[in-house]
Structures are given as C-alpha cells and as structure tokens.
Structure 1
Amino acid sequence: MSPFAVTAKSSAYFSALTQEIDKKLHKAIASPNQRRDLLQALFADIALEVDDRARAIILGREDAASDSWIDAKAPICFYDVLADHFSLQPELGKPILVLIVQLWSQPFASHIFALLFHKWLFEVELDSADVLLRYSSALVQGATNIFWIDVQTNTTHFHSLFSYLLVDVALVPERLKKIPLQAQRDLFHLLSRFIFLYNQVDKIESFLKNFPVFPNAFFIGGPADIFVIELADQLQKLKVEPVLLHYLSHIKVLQGLELRMTTSTRLKTCLYSFTSPGGPMYPTRAVRHAAWDALDFLFPVGRYPRHIISLFFRLMYPWYWPSSCWNFVLSCIQAILYSVLGLIFPRHKLRDRHQS
C-alpha cells in the first residue's frame, strides 16, 4: 500500500510531473550533443526532496505544512512518490519507460530507471525473459552508480532506495524470485557492498540466510564468505575518510561469522593495509587507528607480533617520526591525566554523588 493519498489534486500533480519527465526525455533524444547534461539535470530533479506545498498535495492534506505528524516524518524525495505512483499504476509509466530504453546506453539513463521503476519492476508481470533480464541489470547498474554518489558526498540521500531493495526485495523470497537468478546474485553483491553505508547491519543475519545459490560457491565459500569478500573489495575502493571510518566502525559485527581461511586472510590483509602510513593507501591517523581496532578485535591471535612488525615498518618512513613521537607524548599525558583524575575522583564517589 502506498503511504500517499490518491486525490483529484494529487492525481493532477502526478500527471504534471509525468508530462515534465516525458518532455525532458524527448528533448534529450532530440539533442544528442546535450544529452548527457539533460539526463543529469533530470536525474537531479527526480532526486530532489519534495517541498512542503507539493508534500501537502501528495499526502492529500491541505494543512500538511503545519501538521505535526507530517513534520515528524523523514523527508521524502520525488523519486519516492513517483516510484510508488508507477508501481500502483504501471500503464502511466510505460511512455517514460519506452523513452528511457531509447536512451539505454547514455549516462544517467540507468540512474533514472532505478529511481523511477525500482518498485514497478517487482509489481508487474513481464512475459519476455530477455526484457526482464535487461531491466534487472539496469536496476542493479543504476542503483550501484546512485549509491556511489552517496559515498562520494558522505550522505545517505538514497537510503529509501537501498532499504526497499534490501527489506522489500532481498529479504522477501517471493518478490526476489521475480527477477532472473543472475540478477539476484548481482543484487546481493550490490547490497553487500553498501549495507554498512546505510546502517542496516542489524539485518545481516537475515540477509545471509536469503542469499541465492552461487555457481562458484564450492570455490569461494558460502554466503558469509561472499559477503565478506564483497565488503573487503568495497573497503579498498573507499577514498572518502568519513565513509571509510563509518565502515570500519561497523566491521566488528563480522565477529562470529564462519569464514574460509582464504576469506579470513583476505579480510585481515585488507584491514592491515590501512594500518601503515604511506602508499598505496596513504591512510590518515584516524583511519589507521580504526583499522587497528577492527583488526585486533576480529583477529586477536597474533595481535602483538603484528604491532611489532608494524613498528619496524614505521621506521621506514622517517618523515613520520616527529608526528608519531608527538602523538605518543600526547597519549601518555592523556593517560596520566586520566589516572590522576581517577585517583582524585574515584568512580564510586562520582556514582554516589550522581545518585544523591
């Protein structure tokens, strides 16, 4: 069921939105030299948040702008309401879909398809297996590009798209089976890479239980192995420090997963690559410490030898010695200060004072 009310006013509003999208797609087809810019602009328009006036019309409440219930809800974007609209009334989206197919090979075409038709794809019945595979592949490709936009901008603007693909598709076998098996595998690869970004770590257990069958599972392992392999590859690609730190802060949830030795070594090598300054990663101090914390937590065996080996490698970068010594001195001063404060204000006294 759609959370958006269907009224005469909202229906007219959706019709106007659809005509505007149709017009921009026609313009892109007719203007080869400006095609990329036009599609990029259309994608940006669809991704915009719905303003208060439009929100009132879509939700069917004239007083929505002043309604406390509406204000308390999370922001909604045009792609959210349009995706619902086209899934509830599939025939209204067919003209737009035909135009997108004509622009299939163009940049941002798959982005637009993923935003507008990610729900439609799992609600309609398509007779042709080839067409279904094409649409499914376009969905995964478009969603991948869209999620990378959130990575590069350190945002979660497209959280609702990810949440739908995870909660309403990947974790619902009846809906997942509507797309070909190869598309199912690609979708699970995609979700594995971005599940940390969108703070869905609490669903990892259910996610692993619903993994489709992979033909090379004998060689690479089960769902947990595939998930960790994709996650490790994703970590190697992240260049935005806050996002990388976010991933490293969540990676401790992997403790307890039964992994093959090769998968475990792969993850360990990935984390270890972030613990040393210099090339090829050039991680910051914050990233190095986060990687060490994750590495020591997940792989406690061999913790001290790893740190000793790392210390020897640090000696190969003499330009880092001054900063390392300074940070060491600061850490010692901080530890001494906390110890002195602990002696002056014991924890039980602070607790008694707080209770009184």
Structure 2
Amino acid sequence: MHRIDIQTNTRLFQSLFHYLLDDVVLNQTRLNKIPVQAPRDIYLLLSRFLPFYNSADRMESFLKHCPAFPNAFFVGGPSDIIVTELTDQLLKLKVEPVLLHYLSQIKILQGMELRMTTSTRLKSCLYSFTCPGCPVYPTRAVRHAAWHALDLLFPVGQYPRHLISLFFRLLYPWYWPSSCWNFAISCMKAIFCSLLRLIFSSWKKVIKPKQP
C-alpha cells in the first residue's frame, strides 16, 4: 500500500503509517499481544518510510523500540537496521520528487553510530546518485541533493570526493557543454542576487531619515 504513495508521490496511507508507528511499534502493550515475527516485519517496513512521512521527530523513540532480531549479530544494532532498509529503499526509488524528498530528509541519520559495512553501503548508495549516467541516471537536481546529503552525513573527505568527481567528469567531454552552461547560469544568478542586495541596501540608506 505504501508503494502506491511512493509511486504517485501522495500521502494516502499516511494515517495507516502513523497508526502502525504510534499505536503498534511504540506501544509495548500491543506489541506483546502479537506474534514475535510481526513486530520485526512492521519495524522493517516503517524504517523504509520514516523520511517519506516526515517522522524524523519519532526517530529516537523508534530506535529504542527496536525488536530483537535473530541475526542482529551479523546485521548490527537498530541504527544499522534502519540505515540498511533506507539504503535499499533509496536504490528502488524512481520518482524524482520522492527521491528528492528522501534525500532532503536523510539528515535524520546524522550522528548515528553505524558499522563500517552499513556506513560504506550508504555512502556508495548516495555516491551513485551523484554521478550522471548509469546505473541510476539521476537528474541534475538529484545529483545536487545527493552531494548535499553525502557531505552532510560524511563530512570527512568531502573535498577529495568532489575533486575525484570533477576529474572523472573531465573524462567525458559530452558532459562539458551542459556543465559549463549550468556553471554560467549559477554565476549569473549569484551576480544578480548580489546586485539586488547592493541596490536594496543602497536604497535603504537613501530613504532612511536623517536624525537631527
């Protein structure tokens, strides 16, 4: 059902999501009344949609109510489980507005202690969205959002990453015209905004009444 919302960028099942989150997963009394496997399946399902339904404020409670998983020794703790599910979800997203929303909400993962394998997998996933072409063919907006998310979650090494990315872009001359055009547009926008700020600040000084 939630896949319908993902594919159409709607929130038809948001009430169902919040019911499962607030009245089932975060309600220990109800959890004790259902089979052992059910809380695990619900937890994995909700982990994929926390950013989509803007539930970042529930993350701390959600982590504390993580059920016991039999393969926790191999998978990791609650943070690793959530990040693994979100990484899988990101790789499956095909609708650009939904993907942009996920990337903008990925900040909820900031500060989590992750295993090296989980961290590397998330980093690789985000990096795949920064590269034009295969395998995901991201748009320019998605690439910029992915770079922002990558730099936010993994600030160490962000400058070498950008330099390496620039080097590989230079290996593909057919990307040069679009890159130069976008760079020129960005520069013109920056200059235009600076001129507007200068004009408005000068105008305020002119119309500001002089104190006697």
Aligned partner of 2:58 in structure 1 is: 203
Report the AA paired with residue 174 of structure 2.
W
Unaligned runs of 5+ in 1: 1-145
How many residues are aligned here?
206
Using structure 2 for the length normalisation, give the TM-score.
Answer: 0.92
1:306 is matched by which residue type in structure 2?
R
Match of 2:127 in 1: 272
1:337 offset after TM fit, Å? Answer: 1.9
Tell me by how many angstroms 1:196 deviates: 1.4
Query: Is 1:152 aligned to 2:7, yes or no?
Result: yes
What's the CA shift string for 1:273-312, capped at 9, x where partnerless? 1001000000000100000011111111101100011112
3-state DSSP of counterpart to 2:67:
coil
The Cα RMSD (Å) is: 1.8
| CA apart distance, 1:182 | 1.6
Does residue 1:303 correspond to 2:158, yes or no?
yes
The Cα of 1:317 is off from its aligned counterpart by 3.1
In structure 1, what is the Cα distance between the partners aligned to 2:94 and 2:172?
Answer: 22
- Aligned residue in 1 for 2:143: 288
Question: Bigger radius of gyration, 1 or 2?
Answer: 1
In the alignment, what sits opposite 2:199? Answer: 344
Instruction: Please tell me whether residue 260 in structure 1 is matched to residue 121 in structure 2.
Output: no
Equivalences for residues 90-109 of structure 1 within 5 A? none
Measure, in 1, the Cα distance between the counterparts of 2:33 and 2:201: 62
Q: In the TM superposition, what is the alpha-carbon distance from 1:345 to its structure 2 partner?
A: 3.0
SS in 1 for 2:113: coil
SS in 2 for 1:345: helix
C-alpha displacement at 1:338, in angstroms? 2.1
Q: Give the stretch that moved more between structures: 189-198 or 172-181.
A: 172-181
After TM superposition, the structure 1 stretch with the greater mean CA deviation from structure 2, 256-265 or 227-236, is 256-265
Counterpart Cα distance in 1 of 2:23 and 2:163? 47
Q: Hey, what does 1:244 align to over in structure 2?
A: 99
2:37 to 171, 182, 192: 182
Amino acid at match of 2:154: F
CA shift, 1:219, in A, is 1.9
| Aligned counterparts, 1:54-93, within 5 A | none
Of 12, 15, 23 in structure 2, the residue corresponding to residue 168 of structure 1 is 23
SS in 1 for 2:156: coil
What corresponds to 2:72 in structure 1? 217
What percentage of residue pairs aligned between the two structures are identical?
Answer: 71
1-side partners of 2:118 and 2:103: how far apart? Answer: 17
Whose relative contact order is higher, 1 or 2, with alpha carbons under 8 Å and at least 6 apart? 2
Q: Shift of the alpha carbon at 1:342? A: 2.9
State the secondary structure of the residue aligned to 1:199: coil
Which SS does the other structure have where 2:80 is aligned? Answer: helix
State the Cα distance separating 1:200 from its structure 2 match. 1.3
Deviations 1:226-245 (A, max 9, x none): 00110011000000000000
Q: Which runs of 5+ in 2 are unaligned?
A: none
Give the C-alpha shift of residue 313 in structure 1.
1.8
TM-score by length of 1: 0.55
